[in-house]
Amino acid sequence: MTQKNWHTQRNGTCVTISRALPARFDVSASARFPVVARARLGHQIRQDMWRSLQNLRGFSPVVRVERVEDELLVTAGGRLGYPIARHVPEIIVDLLNDTAHRARWIKCAREVAA
C-alpha cells in the first residue's frame, strides 16, 4: 500500500497519519523521540506497526507525531473493528521501544530532514 492511500493531517506542531477519518485511537501507546522529520517518522512507525498487527482483524493504524519542546511525542495505535485483545497494547509498546526499529526510523527521518 502506498502512502497516497493514507490521510496526513497537519495541525501546527502535530502530524497525524491514518487510514480512515476521523483518526481514532481505540488502543495506543506513546514514546518520545529526538526531533526529526515528523511525517517520515510517522510513516515508518505506521509501516512496522501494521506488519506487527496486520493479522488483527479490523485494525486500522493511526500515528500522531507531535513536537513538544525539544523532542517528539509519538502516539501509535489505531482503530479496532472488534474488541481489543489484551496483548495489543504490549505489542505497540514493545515496537516503540525496540532499539533496532528506533534506530532505523530515526536514521530514515533524519536523512529526509537533512
Residues 12-53 pLDDT 10s: 999 999 988 999 999 999 999 999 999 999 999 999 999 999
**Per-residue pLDDT, 58:** 87
The predicted model scores a pTM of 0.88
Is 30:89 a contact under the CB 8 Å cutoff? no
Dihedral angle computed from the Cα positions of residues 90, 95, 97 and 98, in that order, rounded to the nearest 10 degrees: 130
The domain total for the chain is 1
- List CB contacts of 107: < 8 A, sequence separation 6 or more: none
Nearest Cα to Cα of residue 39 among 64, 68, 75: 64
The domain containing residue 56 runs over which residues? 3-113
> Residue 1: its pLDDT value, please?
41
C-alpha cell at 114: 537533512
Give 73-83 pLDDT, tens digit per residue: 999 999 987 77
In the chain, pLDDT over 90 holds for what percent of residues?
74
